[in-house]
Structure 1
Amino acid sequence: MWSNYKSDIYQFLVVAIGCAVFGAGIDAFVLPHKLVSTGVSGVGLILYYLTGLSVGTWNVILNIPIFWAAYHWLGKRVVINTLYGTIMVSWMIDWFGFLQYDMLIKDPLLSSMLAGVTTGVGLGIVYRVGGNTGGLDPIALIVRKYYGLQMGSINSIINGIILIA
């Protein structure tokens, strides 16, 4: 009994660490140069630039229909992981907001590369323990479950559309 809770606590702690790395990467390297990212957080960035409402707030708002879809097609356990990951990544992006004002890296190209590394490492940490940060992850899981398509292909198509926008 305790071992089940122990593994859940471990997963939640590791997801929090991954979300912190992701959030710090967004704030330190993406926001200072007004760059965009992919996924739902990328749409949140665009809306932040347009409205001034925080990226984390937009991330939570944009994930509301995704929570419903995950509950409907993937079940309660995935919704709990998605809800936790979404709240953590949104909170971490807003919590590390002070980093965007220092402009650690002056060159936008180098900053975008470092953003890719830090956010990728952060998400890798989250995925390694079976977590997710909401956004495209549950959508890709739904498409994979019902249509057999690979998650990478699904994410690439949706991310391409976001970047074009």
Structure 2
Amino acid sequence: MKINFKSFFIILIGSLLVAIGTYFFLAPSHIAAGGISGAAIIINSIFPSMPIGALMMAMELVLFTTGILVIGPVFGGKTVFCSFSISGMILLLERLFPNIRPLSNDMLIQLIFGVLICGVGMAIVFNQNASTGGTDIIAKIINKYFKISIGRSILIADVTVTIAASITFGIDKGLYAILGVIANSTLIDNVIKSLNTYKQVAIISNAGEQIKDYIVDTLERSATIYYAKGAYNNNEREVITTVISNKQFLNLKEYIKNIDGKAFITVNEVNEVVGEGFADFI
């Protein structure tokens, strides 16, 4: 099996964001906004001698084994890597910054920044067909078999943790935890959507050959050619269609502008592209 080192590097970045958001913002304020990290925060508040990172590692063992068996070895392997990366990073942060206190006295500020940082990190991980471990594995299983979005699946999976947070930390912090879970699930869905947004472009130009060469050779994307007849003068014209990233579209538009300022371009936003050169079938 070929190892995609780029994918693992991206997962590592997502893991770092989750670790930072959890340790510096959620944990010090006892905001258990769902997930294994939330459960670890609850247990740590009851038994302070038990490190959050070690608790997360222990609880993840059972769930990532389930992930390997139910979803597959690729997902399982990436999830193992991600979950232990997060736990290890939090253990390291606990050594570097022991007895961390809330950065702000405003719990809502702590919640917002914690959820923003963790949510972006989790979305990056999910977009690589992995999870951060724990209840996110349950969410991935729900997503696979019930076709519910990842964000909503996380919301379903984290209800138990938020209820436990209400019992352990009081109704106020429990409500903050529920707010955090809702915000987190919404953020994850939107970040994943933005990461998978592409432009579907149709081009009619007198410089068609140059544009095709630019798309294939410079942008390293394929294109489809078909012919259409104009309603005004009945002339048959070549239409070039391609699907490219937002950054590639800006480059393509600038290139076309320089060689044919009268070219006709239509653009549609595509929320998901599956196939060679894009996302894999999962």
Q: TM-score, normalized by length of structure 2? A: 0.52
The question of 1:10 aligning with 2:9 is answered: no
SS at match of 1:163: helix
Aligned counterpart, 1:126: 125
- Once structures 1 and 2 are overlaid, which stretch shifts more, 58-67 or 132-141? 132-141
Indicate which of 79, 82, 87 corresponds to 1:85. Answer: 82
Report the CA distance between 1:103 and its aligned residue: 3.3
The question of 1:19 aligning with 2:15 is answered: yes
Listed as ranges, the matches of 1:2-151 within 5 Å are: 4-5=2-3, 8-52=4-48, 53-97=50-94, 98=97, 101-151=100-150
RMSD between aligned residues? 2.1
Aligned AA (2:122): L
Structure 1: gaps spanning 5 or more residues: none
1:55-89 deviation digits (Å, cap 9, x = unpaired): 11111111111122112212221211111011011
Aligned AA (1:43): A
1:22-74 deviation digits (Å, cap 9, x = unpaired): 11111111222222221121111111111221111111111111122112212
SS at match of 1:132: coil
8 Å CA contact 1:21–1:121 kept in 2: the answer is: yes
8 Å CA contact 2:139–2:157 kept in 1: the answer is: no
In 2, the alpha carbon distance for the partners of 1:134 and 1:43 equals 12
Aligned counterpart, 1:157: 156
1:140-162 deviation digits (Å, cap 9, x = unpaired): 23234344444433321221221
SS at match of 1:34: coil
- Once structures 1 and 2 are overlaid, which stretch shifts more, 98-107 or 15-24? 98-107
Report the CA distance between 1:101 and its aligned residue: 2.0
Structure index of larger Rg: 2
In 2, the alpha carbon distance for the partners of 1:14 and 1:90 equals 17
8 Å CA contact 2:22–2:118 kept in 1: the answer is: yes
In 2, the alpha carbon distance for the partners of 1:104 and 1:138 equals 30
Query: Structure 1 or 2: larger strand share?
Result: 2
Higher relative contact order (CA 8 A, sep 6+): 1
In 1, the alpha carbon distance for the partners of 2:39 and 2:80 equals 18
In 1, the alpha carbon distance for the partners of 2:129 and 2:120 equals 15
Q: TM-score, normalized by length of structure 1? A: 0.85
Number of equivalences: 161
In 1, the alpha carbon distance for the partners of 2:92 and 2:8 equals 18
Query: Structure 1 or 2: larger helix share?
Result: 1
- Once structures 1 and 2 are overlaid, which stretch shifts more, 106-115 or 126-135? 126-135
**Aligned residues with identical type, % of pairs:** 25
Structure 2: gaps spanning 5 or more residues: 165-282
In 2, the alpha carbon distance for the partners of 1:145 and 1:35 equals 29
SS at match of 1:32: coil
